[in-house]
Structure 1
Amino acid sequence: MGFQLWFYFIILFLLCPILQSTESQQAICGEEVRGNVTIPSPFGIHSRCYSRSWFRVSCKQTHKGEKPFISINGIDLELLGSLFQDTILIKNPVGSSTVNRTGTPFFFSSDYNYFGSVGCGNLATIFSNEADPLGGCIQPICGDGASESGCYNRISGNFTSNVVNMTAMYPTGKDDDKRCASAFIFSRLYFREDYPLPIGIHIETTHVPATLSWNSTYCGDAGCELGPGPINFSSKDSCGNVTFQYPFEIIHQHYPNGWFRVICNKTSNGRKMPFLNINGINLEILHFSFLYGNVVVNHSITYFNCRQNNNDGMSLNLTGTPFYYSDFDNVFWSSGCGNLVTVFDNEKGNLVEE
């Protein structure tokens, strides 16, 4: 015997920019994986998963397999993952290939990174490109037979570009001036704080993990585009028995983002009914609340093994939209005989209800 899933759904909306869906719905933004790295939002491999080219992730084949990379001012940086919200972990180059992040939303934060240097008996200092001192440390003198030593210290502020100076602090022997020295920014959260340098960093190291942050309001050299103008939160519009406020508007009005356009259709008896189109499916709107940030819709029913219906197991897909189902405002209910009914979210496979 077939059975039905009855839904009474309230869809909540988020007032935030949404990525345009131009490629396959198979890509779940924020859940894309390359190698053993999960790509966090707002970064993405598919174009529907990133809104600006700064956050585009490309995949390259390396001797260790396929790896994800981002490009900053022409330099490709391997993406290692994300430790905290609004940060990513990258392989940061050591020495002369320092990445200039000027003109991008990216910067190094003093909250997550240290300044380090490998060498013998030098004062290593780091400055912003505006010549503001950010930090420094003194390398210990190398003992007999020792080829390298190192130091690290905190940095005093956030910066997008930097200059490093290396100054000898002690009298040098005839061969000391030939010793190699390096300097770098590295993530303090990725290593244990072992003196004089975290394990794994030495003079042969070419890249170190560093935590990169970004300014979500950065618009580039051209500046930010003007919005649609002052928002009138008190303005109301109606279709049938439903009254709308910002951000919803009737479709004959201009709303640039499109997600909140209400289609006001007339039925055969002349009655007006409001609809919301989500991923190609028109949903009748039953109620709207600006205060609670939700809209009640007449949701479709999911059937299983019912001959008169051909939408077995189907449900409304809200991926790539500003809408989501609230666990506070909705209940899960099923009609049938002797079945265990479960519902999972598509993104993580978590059991939502049974």
Structure 2
Amino acid sequence: MKYINRTQAVLLLKDGTIFYGKSIGIEGTTFGEVAFNTGTTGYQEIFTDPSYFGQIMVTTNAHIGNYGVNDEEVESNGVKISGLVCKNFSFNYSRDKGTESLFDYFQKQNLIVISDVDTRALVSYIRDNGAMNAIISTDNTPIEELKKRLVDVPDMHGLELASKVSTKDPYFFGNENAKYKVSALDLGIKTNILRNLAKRDCYIKVFPFDATFSDLESFNPDGYFLSNGPGDPEPLESAQQVAREILAKNKPLFGICLGHQVIALANGINTYKMFNGHRGINHPVKNLITGKGEITSQNHGFAVVKEDLEKHPDFELTHEHLNDGTVAGMRMKNKNCFSVQYHPEASPGPHDSSYLFDQFIENIESSLN
């Protein structure tokens, strides 16, 4: 590998706190909300997850890049994070299925990366002070200039980002001769969600974030899906209206993460921005219906207001996050609708939550009979 000049780099938080590190050799400046993920593997899936759009990712695992990348292990058409902060960046990789190094992958997409940062101290600081906007720079831009730029970075609260990652045109996924047809509203959909639906004999038509119910209905689907995605759910008024119209006809509806929040808002249940979101692959959730625990993959910075949900006569809390008691799942008592605030498609080792896709198919089946 050619010699790379690893110059000093900087991470500047909105409150003025500075962390220093080194550039991996890609020069530039980028901004976003700083967030951390506690997963020990799956970095490529994290970097390509549309739900992370607009965020500077801090990885708590000490080694990033050591197993390279694989073209088949992406969740979208490219890197979606705004930048990366890590402890040790590996330029070389060792893996039979690896197709190229993470450095080469990032170079193609010009992703700004800082390594050699004390990520334990950084994550501890974020945990105590909350998620906030930040800038990372590897091109020696003066700190005072970075502070000026940071003032203009929009806050994640109230920020609509689904339009930045959604498909521009409808497309199909799966076998056109499949048993079931599903219309999916793309708010930032992960590819593995589509794989899981297709594996269960679904043919999916994926629609842009601003598609109407009439658009989705034109596919004559057996069920509807509202996807995950980035940003605040409140500005997504069109998606909320789609959810209302699906529910008015009592069609099978399944929502994940941002889609889950949209369903809540469509029914007058509020959401809020979390002090720190849930991002990792070992979050404990309890299914309150079965009493069983699940180890889940999570990635969200907004959540449904639990008190609003519990007071709503038509809704039932079905899943609870065991670390902080936040809403992890809900269902409607009088409609064919349920949703969760985690990623059953991610399968981070265990497959504890994959039954949710089966539950969606069962709901479709019952509606057809």
Q: TM-score range by the shorter chain?
A: under 0.3
Q: Name the one with the larger helix percent.
A: 2
Greater strand fraction, Structure 1 or Structure 2 = 1
State TM-score, norm by structure 1. 0.26
RCO higher in structure (CA 8 A, sep ≥6): 1
TM-score when normalising by structure 2: 0.25
